[in-house]
């Protein structure tokens, strides 16, 4: 195989997909990237938005800035934007509510549409196709017919593990059930997930937990590679803390899956002086549920990603008590800022930190363990500061360059180059 050729598919531009593409490009394996919207602000055609009404131009610019994806090492990016544009329009104008379209249904529509475009137009001349969950079923089916290797990336645990845990949570907290979408996956979507796993020649995951979710359904261990994501050490760095307040920080979607319903009562019970709990992220709990805790925490609904550095640096510890997580990139973001973490065994915590060194790993749903670790952090400021320094050192060892190299090496071995 003299000139390997791989295309990578993702409907948006998360950091893990961009780094996967860059890693393949650096290894001279990548033919093209296929996505929905890939904004390159350096291209001259975007200047025409300046002629639109200011409010509309500002809205479009804001949306595009969150979908920036420059060609990795000048590898071309092919886009199919219209379904994604329609999805954004329906959501932002709230027309989707009037038409009774659920957000998840619109996302599925975009994923399936992109999958069909890739299967129809982008398989010719490939040795392998690298695609992600929910956007690979048709592509893999057609690729198999042409002898193309199917490389699958599963960023989150397989749906059965996630569904089991979240169904348990709905039983524990019936009032939170409306906010737990994963227990209401459509039969069609589940069928596609099953087909993707069956057709994949190799599966890349970012954590041991996600690997276990595949082993639980009978996937052979030889078919799975665990490659933890990288720490954004260039973008997130330690900054001086400007006050002496003990600040526990949560970053992510404020939702049942993230375990916030256990963090809040734990913090309430502690009653620490000169201390603050800050939740940063969109509130996805049922309307009014979070209000009962408004006197014990500060909620910041939305923060531009690059401004998160100041929130991490103002914190004493990041608390991320997620019930089920494929990885949890906020862990490495906080560690890059020199902030220790408290997280659960159901995240990438066991893959990226040593309990008691860069932070703590506790069982899910354990309010007492949360209280114990938070109180320890509060009572041991010097030891906590050393934990933060250790966290930064570990983040430097786990940078994105390491991820890209490990991924490219594994792909090369699969292609038997």
- Mean pLDDT by runs of 10 across the 417 residues of the chain is 83 94 96 91 58 61 76 91 85 67 81 96 96 97 97 96 96 93 86 97 98 98 98 93 95 96 97 97 94 95 89 97 97 98 98 97 98 98 97 97 97 86
Q: For residue 153, what are its two tokens?
A: 């990336």
Asked whether residue 241 is assigned to any structural domain, the reply reads: no
Cα distance between residue 51 and residue 57, in whole Å: 8
Residue 348 to residue 332: CA distance in whole angstroms: 10
Query: Is the domain of 356 the same as that of 306?
Result: yes
Q: What is the pLDDT of residue 185?
A: 84
Contacts of 152 (CB under 8 A, 6+ apart): 131, 132, 133, 136, 140, 196, 197, 200, 201, 202, 203, 204
Residue 59 and residue 129 in one domain: yes
Claim to verify: residue 407 and residue 369 sit in the same structural domain: no
Domain total of the chain: 2
- Tell me: do 155 and 226 sit in the same domain: yes
209-230 pLDDT, tens digit per residue, is 999 999 999 999 999 999 999 9
Q: Are residue 152 and residue 277 in the same domain, yes or no?
A: no
User: For residue 1, what pLDDT is reported?
Assistant: 47
* Same-domain pairing of 207 and 338: no
Domain-located, residue 235: no
The pLDDT score that the predictor gives to residue 111 is 95
Half-sphere CA count of 392, side-chain side, radius 13 A: 16
Radius of gyration of the chain (CA): 22
Q: How many CB atoms lie within 10 A of CB 375?
A: 14
Residues 189 and 285 in one domain: no
pLDDT at 88: 81
Q: What is the pLDDT of residue 152?
A: 98
Domain contains 294: yes
Which tokens belong to 37? Answer: 């919207």
Backbone angles phi, psi at 342, to 5 degrees: -115, 120
- 277 and 197 both lie in a single domain: no
Q: What are 361's strand-pairing partners?
A: 343
* CATH number, position 124: 3.40.50.2000
140 contacts 129 by C-beta, under 8 angstroms: yes
Taking every pair of C-alpha atoms in the chain, what is the biggest distance, in angstroms? 66
Q: What is the pLDDT of residue 47?
A: 56
- Check residue 332 and report its DSSP letter: H
Whether 70 is covered by a domain: the verdict is yes
- Which residue segment(s) compose the domain that 125 sits in? 6-230+400-414
State phi, psi for 371 to the nearest 5 degrees: -60, -45
Looking at the structure, tell me whether residues 198 and 286 fall in a common domain: no
Write the CB contacts of 38 (distance below 8 Å, at least 6 apart in sequence): 13, 67, 68, 69, 70, 77, 79
Assigned token pair, 240: 């001086």
| 261 and 221 belong to one structural domain | no
8 Å CB contact between 230 and 400:
yes
Q: Does residue 240 fall inside a structural domain?
A: no
How many CB atoms are located within 10 Å of the residue 198 CB?
11
């Amino acid at each position: 195989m003299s000139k390997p050729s791989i295309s990578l598919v993702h409907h948006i531009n998360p950091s893990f997909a961009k780094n996967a593409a860059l890693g393949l490009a650096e290894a001279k394996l990548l033919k093209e990237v296929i996505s929905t919207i890939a904004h390159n602000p350096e291209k001259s055609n975007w200047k025409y938005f300046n002629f639109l009404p200011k409010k509309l131009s500002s809205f479009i610019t804001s949306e595009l800035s969150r979908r920036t994806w420059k060609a990795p090492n000048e590898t071309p990016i092919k886009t199919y934007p219209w379904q994604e544009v329609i999805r954004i329009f329906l959501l932002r104008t709230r027309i989707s509510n009037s038409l009774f379209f659920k957000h998840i249904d619109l996302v599925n529509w975009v994923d399936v549409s992109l999958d069909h475009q890739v299967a129809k137009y982008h398989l010719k001349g490939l040795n392998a196709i690298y695609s992600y969950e929910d956007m690979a079923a048709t592509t893999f089916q057609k690729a198999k017919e042409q002898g193309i290797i199917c490389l699958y990336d599963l960023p989150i645990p397989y749906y059965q593990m996630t569904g089991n845990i979240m169904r348990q949570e709905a039983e524990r907290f019936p009032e939170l059930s409306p906010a737990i979408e994963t227990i209401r996956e459509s039969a069609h979507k589940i069928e596609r997930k099953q087909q993707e796993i069956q057709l994949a020649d190799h599966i890349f995951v970012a954590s041991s937990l996600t690997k276990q979710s595949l082993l639980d359904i009978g996937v052979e261990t030889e078919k799975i590679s665990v490659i933890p994501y990288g720490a954004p050490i260039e973008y997130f760095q330690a900054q001086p803390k400007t006050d002496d307040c003990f600040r526990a920080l949560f970053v992510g979607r404020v939702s049942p899956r993230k375990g916030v319903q256990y963090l809040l009562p734990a913090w309430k019970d502690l009653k620490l002086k000169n201390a603050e709990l800050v939740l940063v992220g969109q509130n996805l709990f049922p309307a009014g549920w979070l209000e009962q805790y408004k006197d014990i925490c500060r909620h910041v609904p939305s923060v531009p990603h690059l401004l998160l550095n100041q929130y991490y640096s103002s914190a004493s510890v990041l608390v991320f008590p997620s019930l089920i997580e494929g990885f949890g990139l906020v862990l490495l973001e906080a560690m890059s800022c020199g902030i220790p973490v408290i997280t659960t065994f159901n995240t990438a915590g066991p893959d990226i930190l040593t309990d008691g060194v860069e932070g703590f790993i506790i069982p899910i749903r354990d309010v007492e363990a949360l209280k114990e670790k938070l109180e320890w952090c509060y009572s041991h400021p010097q030891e906590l500061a050393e934990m933060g320094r250790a966290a930064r050192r570990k983040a430097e060892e786990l940078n994105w360059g390491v991820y890209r190299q490990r991924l490219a090496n594994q792909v090369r071995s699969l292609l038997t180059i």
